[in-house]
Structure 1
Amino acid sequence: MIPTAEGPLTNLVRDVRFNPQLICLIGAECTGKTTLAKALAAHFSSLWVPEHLRSFCDLQGRTPRADEQVLIMRAQFEQEEQAAALARQTACPYVLCDSAPLLTAIYSDFYFSDPSLFECAHVLHTRYALTLLLQPDMPWVSDGLQRDGDPARAAIHARLRHELHAMRHPCIEVSGSGDRRLQAAILAVETLTS
């Protein structure tokens, strides 16, 4: 028996056709992740997932302790999964993820000498269709609790490049400022449909 247009085949086609692609925007502190993620979400009529670390710091009035790093990672993952589910329901093409569990693993190792989150972070990173690595070519600006300065930014950026290269995950580096940075990111995202 052949399914009717309104039967099981319709649901299958809808699920395949509107399966959103997760795009990770990752970079060290003060590289414009949030600004760019919001702009891309607006441009592509897609969803944006904010960085959970920022929300945590705002809510707690402090940076997380070593024992809270795994909670930060889990919360970031859960927010991304919730957004992906909503995107499927609303036929939204992309979910723009401001940061990623990989950055939490790097912070955990950098600040607390704890590399235990890398294995999980690497597995979770395979969910992204594309990673945009934001270059630290913007002026560093103090922003309260999450800002440690240019030396920390450079060190974290080097670790990100190393980890992404080692994982051999699709990654496009985005640089420049303002509209130039946005246009470069738009072109990068458009590679997913070409």
Structure 2
Amino acid sequence: MNAEVKVAILGAASSGKTTLAAALARDHGTVWVPEYLREFVDTEARVPVAQDQIHIARTQRAREDAAMPLAHRYLFCDTTPLMTAVYSRHYFHGIDAELELLANRHQRDYAITLVTASDIPWQADGLQRESEQVSVTINTMLMEELSRRAIPYLLITGTLAERLAQANRHLP
């Protein structure tokens, strides 16, 4: 069965996106799409450069497309090309045209956007996370990006149980 509802889960590093996506998928008997950036960093053993951004966003979308037929009712997406655009703006001072097009599809492609608050302890994660301060900056930029694009979202806070309850109350 195909997913009827794609759910975007966005947030800065170490804000609980992966934990929330996996728990929601488990509770709803469906699949979720892990963040490709994490795999990229692990596989390449380096942080991405500007030229990698579009590859990362395309791969994230391709994995969502591949997961759609496997999902039941919901497909939970641990990040989207919009998050790649935020990182691109921060690290490379801009977003290339193709990445901008992928990011612009956000409102059409996701029925609901959940943003994980940075209210849990920050944890280093090898090459992928630079510092807690960078996560604060990325979170601010994400909120600005959502506002600029007029994308409605639900800020998810608290413990995992509290986050699950908040998300479930707002799932269509």
TM class, shorter-length: over 0.9
Q: Name the SS of the counterpart of 2:86 in structure 1.
A: helix
Q: Which amino acid aligns with 2:48?
A: P
Counterpart Cα distance in 2 of 1:164 and 1:77 = 19
Say which structure, 1 or 2, has more relative contact order (CA 8 Å, 6+ apart): 2
> 2:31 aligned to 18, 22, 47, which one?
47
Counterpart Cα distance in 2 of 1:179 and 1:44 = 14
Counting only pairs closer than 5 Å after superposition, residues 150-169 of structure 1 correspond to structure 2 as 150-169=132-151
Q: Name the SS of the counterpart of 1:63 in structure 2.
A: coil
> 2:95 aligned to 115, 134, 138, which one?
115
Q: Name the SS of the counterpart of 2:19 in structure 1.
A: helix
Q: Which amino acid aligns with 1:93?
A: R
Q: Name the SS of the counterpart of 1:139 in structure 2.
A: coil
Counterpart Cα distance in 2 of 1:139 and 1:163 = 24
Please say which of residues 118-127 and 69-78 is displaced more in the overlay: 118-127
Indicate the residue corresponding to 2:114 in structure 1: 132
Counterpart Cα distance in 1 of 2:160 and 2:61 = 28
Work out whether residues 101 and 125 of structure 1, in 8 Å CA contact, stay in contact via their aligned partners in 2. Answer: no
Q: CA deviation at 1:124?
A: 4.0
> 2:16 aligned to 32, 41, 44, which one?
32
Q: CA deviation at 1:125?
A: 4.5
| Number of equivalent positions | 170
Q: CA deviation at 1:101?
A: 0.4
1:173 lines up with 2:172 in the alignment:
no
Consecutive unaligned residues of structure 1, counting only runs of 5 or more, are 1-14
Aligned-pair identity (%)? 38
Work out whether residues 3 and 75 of structure 2, in 8 Å CA contact, stay in contact via their aligned partners in 1. Answer: no
Indicate the residue corresponding to 1:59 in structure 2: 43
Q: CA deviation at 1:122?
A: 1.6
Consecutive unaligned residues of structure 2, counting only runs of 5 or more, are none
CA deviations 1:27-47 (Å, max 9, x no partner) are 000000001100000111111
Work out whether residues 3 and 69 of structure 2, in 8 Å CA contact, stay in contact via their aligned partners in 1. Answer: no
Q: Which structure has the larger Rg over C-alpha atoms?
A: 1
Q: CA deviation at 1:19?
A: 4.8
Counterpart Cα distance in 1 of 2:92 and 2:67 = 30
The CA RMSD over aligned residues, in Å, is 1.5
Indicate the residue corresponding to 1:98 in structure 2: 78
Q: Which amino acid aligns with 2:74?
A: Y
